[in-house]
Amino acid sequence: MRWESWSQFWAMGGYAVYVWGSVGVTALLLAVEVWQARWAHRDVLNQLKAEQALAQLPNEDVM
């Protein structure tokens, strides 16, 4: 497809709302995916730190 001007490019042959809306939704979902992965990574690290701290406590057997 050839465009003779930038305005034709941005209009995308009359499908601009669909094309740019799809690009926007995709970019948003990719950003959410990165955010969720970082959040999950942080949670796992916190959980491992808590487990490691518990393992360092003196072992007291209650009998």
Over residues 12-25, the pLDDT tens digits come to 888 999 999 999 99
Question: Looking at this protein, which amino acid is placed at residue 11?
Answer: A
Full-model pTM: 0.68
Q: Classify 3 in phi/psi space as left (phi over 0), alpha (psi -120 to 50) or beta.
A: beta
Q: What is the pLDDT of residues 32-58, one digit of tens each?
A: 999 999 999 999 999 999 999 998 888
Q: State how far Cα 39 lies from the chain centre.
A: 9
Q: Which residue, chain included where needed, has tokens 């942080």? A: 42
